[in-house]
Chain A
Amino acid sequence: MESAFLVSILEWAAQFQPFALIPPAIMYFLAALIVLWSSHRVGRVVMFAMPFLTVLQLVVMVAVQPNVTLALLDMSLVILRVDALSLLFALLFNIAALIGVIYAMHVRDRLQSVSAMCYVGSALGAVFAGDLFTLFIFWELLALSSVGFIWARRQPESMGAGMRYLLVQVVSGLLLLAGALYLYGQTGSLLFNHIGLDGPAGWLILIAFGIKCGFPLLHGWITEAYPAATEAGAVFMAAITTKVAVYALARGFQGEELLVYIGVTMTCFPIFYAVIENDLRRVLAYSMINQLGFMVCGIGVGTTLAVNGAVAHAFNDVIFKGLLFMSMGAVLMQTGRINGSELGGLYRTMPKTTVLCIVGAMSISAFPLLSGFISKAMIVTAVLEEHYEWVWLALLFASAGVFHHAGIKIPYFAFFAHDSGLRPSEPPTNVLIAMSIAAVLCIGIGIYPTLLYQMLPFDMEYTPYDATHVLAQLQLLWFSALAFVWLNLRGWYPPELPSVNLDVDWIYRKAVPRSTAALLPHVSKIGERSALYIGDGFHRIGVLLARGLVTMVGQSTSIRLMAIYLLTVLMLYLLLDALIVLLH
């Protein structure tokens, strides 16, 4: 009955074939143009309509399975490659876009609106890209369009944070391009399928994906950019950039064992930071790395169950992490504060936000009957099936830890804990609606998992709700909570303190700028000294150069430093490019 209904829908949809040939990215870019030039009211309608229009388009795509190829010079670029994996992510990004647009409905800021449309468009372009060059273009557009969310905050530190974010993302794109060209030199093909780690090309592309996915030591941008973005911007960014990277990893590096170990590191180290972090949106950023770790691990294991689990977890994560970012955004919106040390007791006047936040918190902690439970269990089961015993134990540790910092800490310190005396009202209705949609999805997927699981890329047999899994998970979570209660009652739980914690971003935000600032005057003095011996004319040039150097790098903020870093990478890339040309 149900399948006959589906078939008839698809037959009906097939007659709109030309509609499926327009890349959704182009549609979103057109929407961005309309939003840019029209009134706010028209812009809002267009933004709201876009996800629905695109989902209709996806239905037609399922019916006709289009493959759009474009010839550029002697390369053929696959603009639209439609399969189960790309369709699922496209659907996901449209759901995220709808939730994000509703959440931001009350915001009158053209910069954010245009950014949002371009950003979602770029994400759709990236997941439908069938070759690495097209992927590269949308990869960079993702970076360019999303930086608007950080700059739109319009705080003194936004400019710097945005610039650093942009530079990291652009570097990721350049590495991708370098890898793609290298691969093209080797194989003569740019098609984006399984890449693997057989040659330098694979490594370059893996690092490019790894930057966007927040691999350990490359994760600094996640914890810096998300807390720096606007309330709505963080919701969009949390949903998309890293998930595009997960998609790309699933496509290109499925079954690479290295990813299992990278993934498990990503699940474990951020939870320590999350426990002591004060900025609650940064806690969520750390928790995002932790969740990405589960996905990366699943992709690394590479079995049907594992990859399905990773993809399903990406889907669920967008919804529940979105819900958590939305609730913390609502707190920031209504109180102007986001540090745990300044919040507390908000449940009195924000009960709806509190309940919705708790739904998100329970989902991310993988409580039975909520969305995170099944996808996380799939990954953990697959890891154990492949006999990664230590990895399994580490994932259990991370599961307990995620409940501790995201499941309990976020709602507890924002809405309960000590009374901060703040009495903010509930956020605007549209914000509550957006959060409710996400909460309903969390519960809906949890109770009726088939909704999502029939769309997964591989066929599989998996029974999510058996007594063993449910009991084990409940025991694990309940006793994690017990630990929290016990530590709190003893007064041993680390209090929220106004502070920052050093992480990798310290290297380019503090260490290197400071040491160059300390070193360069001496270097330039040597320049000046030597200039003394080379006649008056040369001397002037020397001084000029030395001073220029001091001005440029000596007082370098991290932005300038990263600009120099970027230039170096660019030069490396050009060198590599020249090598490839020479070799062929």
Chain B
Amino acid sequence: MSKKPSNTATDFFIPLKKKINQRERRIAALAVAPAVLLVFFFTIIPVFIAFVISFFKTNGLTYTWRGLDNYFRFVDDPVVHQALSNTIKFLFSVPLVISFALLVAVLLFEKIRGWQYFRVIFFIPNVLSVAVVGIMVKSIFGYYGPVNKIIEYFGNEPIQFFVDGSKAFWIIVFALVWAGFGYQALLLLAGLTSINPEILEAAALDGAGWWRRLWQVTIPSIRRILGFVFIINVLYTFGGIFGFIFVMTAGGPGFDTTTVDYLVYLRAFSSSNLGSGAALAVMLFLVIGAITLLQTKFFRISEDD
């Protein structure tokens, strides 16, 4: 909260100040106008359009009113069920990414010589496109790829990883972890760096070993940033896996790796009913909105203690 300046001494200047303020406010309003308009037209309006389209059967040219039909159909649409359960399954990647990130953060926090170079290396996946990471991982697990060469070396038959839904699933999880842990480690590291060193020193002097300090002092001290990282991962699982699925499995085999966000794309561009895709998108939007609200509530509570 910003305090209002006391104006007893400046009362005399108020008329002039008001004039300047009005001018300043006009300029300020003009300065933010382009940003506000662009965001309004290309993010807020589209959400409304999605809502509207979700009530129609449409191929983009002709529109037939369907009411809530597009939504009701999800109830007995096996593909939607599968996509939903796949998206939930991909939440498995969240604890994996965070564990690796925490490991890297704790190692970097030791600040051994050259740690800054390691920091840059761990940042590499974050500057690469999801398409690059996805295709790279796919190549590595390809039939003639290096992983299969290792498997053959040990005398086993090469595996076709992408014809088996559950194998394909774990390879996508691998890609998610590879792409995400370094960046999140740096987020957690920033949290670690802001811990008051005296607390750690005190714990060390009390005879707490490295592991105990980690579990009882370090991790509890960064629980807010851990919560934040957790939430961005969950949000990402709901709305950001699309790219990996697109380049790695195209949702296959069958619909075994089709997630909700990928299904929105499928419905949008390979079926004649945009309305169904829009209805899915609206559901996704509501779920993500609910998660975000829960998150803010959660953080409010933890701030109080």
Q: Do A and B come from one complex?
A: no
